[in-house]
Chain A
Amino acid sequence: MRNSNFNKLAFNVLAISILSFSACKDDDDAIDLVSVAGDYTATINFTQYVNDSVLQMNTADHPYENEMMQQFKVTKLQYLISNITFTKEDGTQVIDGGYHYVTLADSASLTYTLKTKIPAGAYRSIAFTFGFDEEDNTSGEYADLNTLAWNWPAMLGGGYHFLRLEGNYIDTTNTSSEFKTHMGTAKNNNNTPVTFEANHFDVVLTNSNISVANDVNFDIEMNIEEWYQNPTTWDFNVWNAPVMSVYNAQKTLNLNGPSVFTFKK
């Protein structure tokens, strides 16, 4: 979890606190240990849209349409992001080394307050990893994700699910059929022996430059239709379920993914 960066930051903060404490000591006997000025809390709200409308789950009808004009509805949405990173104008980074699991079944998960405080200053961008990178995507490593059975099967390369987006679409026989868009490590059957490819992607949020002088609060918006377009159009009739073991489906999600998220302040 890139602890070294986090620890370094924590150490600096501690060192500053100690210094300021000892410097003030002579002047003020009643000094309290307070947080260092310029360290602010960042809170993210996770929001979800389909074609510019706020996502409505479990609708009776199929209110949404993908690029192939296939109507669909959403019944489940869960996803995982990690290593939220603030990059300063000078290129130095503040990394919130950890992960956050979002499930629309629990509204509390739609808000995440970073464990890492953000020092005051100007930041040119905010970024995160969708899913886990190779270093973090270790099978069985995270107790709360294990408890949720969020594991990705070892036979597909192991680690964890990054996304579970499920619902129904109207198929070619005009019937409501299920789709289960699950994403994780991509198993490549074209190679002998089979290979497993890391399938996370990094998102640098467009226009996410901010100046931190107070606690900050912003939205990371998921535009669900983008999973199924841009650059590759997704056909629910071909890739409904199962897709976990379908290499091209996994790679398509990886390539379509970066345009899924937008920053909103």
Chain B
Amino acid sequence: MKRILNCTLVTIALLASCRGDDDASDRITPPIPSIPTPYALEIPIHFNRINTPIIPLNNPLTVEGIELGKKLFFEKMLSKDNSISCGSCHNPANAFNDKGKVKSAGVNGTQSIRNAMPLFNLAWGSVTSGRFNWHGSATSLEEQAFGPVRDPLEMHESWVNVELKLQLTSEYPPLFEKAFGTNSIDSNLVVRAIAQFERTLISGDSKYDRYFLETEEGIDVPGDYSLSPAEKRGFNIFMEEGTGDCFHCHGTPFQILWSNNEFVNNGLDANPDSGLAWVTKNPLDVGKFKTPSVRNLAFTAPYMHDGRFARLDDVVEFYNSGVNENSPNIDGRQKPRNLSVQQKADLIAFLHTLNDSTFVTNPAFRP
């Protein structure tokens, strides 16, 4: 960010000095290239408890880049028949999940093989496993954004066509000019803009976040965000190795993201989907999927990579009694938990303290 600022200053200085030397008023002045405005992520103070996101050097955040990225995120021209956008399956009101759909529909109603992932706190993917998608096929947000456009089960469009369609509009070329200094639209710039927008999708204002700010950061948050007895008991179950033992994968209060973003086989099936092994070709990765955050669960049903569980109760019961211990590469923590009805209810009560309604209603994330 500092570098861009310095560049900006140098450029301005050069322009200023040139101007003084040039008295010929009839000479045609070359257009002053527009310089995008550097943008600093608005990171909640308690997110400083974890490592700072790494922004790719070739894709610094800018106001214009983010604005363009948002427009492209909701742009239906990215699909073959101009019928769906990224936002069609990643709805801001559902923490960017697909409005309760088990598997999302692509163009012509074709069904995807996976449940659409919710999108938030993705900027920190760079400081955790560094892999995106349920099966970890992309190693950056930019790379991730290339996939759905050309996937026959999703948008089923060629990038050449996307570039052409956008280029032929009157509105997009100037926006690319503003964001990237060129009006020549290229797929690399499209995914960079989308990735910039995605990095701004920060969710950190749940009840638990406010409770954490008060209790751990010593910040006085107006209102009462103390945990109820049930929520406290649920938290203890989450954090106890002997009962829920959720925290080894889904994070701790200080981990903030509430997922370590690692890839694990949680024992859904005796013959699981290849998962991460599809990417790594390592048999030890068969059945491993990205550990999702337990933030915003009220908005992101159904659950699991294939959306098989409609309700949070189903998920908790699966971990409690439904794990298939014969699944290959199953994580050793997956075994019957013998939680009581009360314990399960308490655990769910705690999980709901991580719902962030500010995030799902934020107008900055709407088209």
Contact = CB atoms under 8 A, between A and B. Distances in A.
Given A180-B333, A241-B332, A147 B239 contact: no
B241 A242 contact: yes
Contacts of A37: none
Contacts of B127: 147
A139 B212 CA distance: 13
Interface in A108-156: 139-140, 143-144, 146-149, 151, 153-155
Contact of B252 (A153, A166, A241): A153
B255 A155 contact: no
Nearest to B282: A58
Contacts of A143: 48-52
Given A147-B50, A153-B252, A166 B241 contact: no
A19 B252 CA distance: 49
A68 B257 CA distance: 41
Contacts of A140: 49, 216, 253-254
26 contacts: A58-B284, A140-B49, A140-B216, A140-B253, A143-B48, A143-B50, A146-B252, A146-B254, A146-B256, A147-B51, A147-B127, A147-B128, A149-B251, A149-B252, A149-B260, A151-B252, A153-B239, A153-B240, A155-B236, A180-B241, A180-B333, A182-B241, A242-B240, A242-B242, A242-B245, A245-B241
Contacts of A180: 241, 332-333
Interface in B121-136: 124, 127-128
Interface in B102-156: 124, 127-128
B366 interface: no
A148 B241 CA distance: 17
A178 interface: yes
Determine chain B's interface SS by DSSP, over half rule: loop
A interface secondary structure, majority: mixed
A75 interface: yes
Contacts of A182: 241
Given A149-B252, A151-B255, A155-B236, A168 B50 contact: no
B365 interface: no
Contacts of B257: 147
Contacts of B242: 242, 245
A129 B195 CA distance: 42
A155 B240 contact: yes
Contact of A148 (B49, B245, B260): B260
A186 interface: no
Contact of A149 (B124, B248, B284): B248
Interface in B269-293: 284
B247 interface: yes
A36 B332 CA distance: 51
A143 B128 CA distance: 12
Contacts of A77: none
Contacts of A149: 247-249, 251-252, 255, 260
Contacts of A151: 247, 252-255
Given A143-B49, A147-B127, A241-B241, 11 more contacts: A140-B254, A143-B51, A146-B50, A149-B249, A149-B251, A151-B247, A151-B253, A153-B240, A153-B252, A166-B332, A245-B241
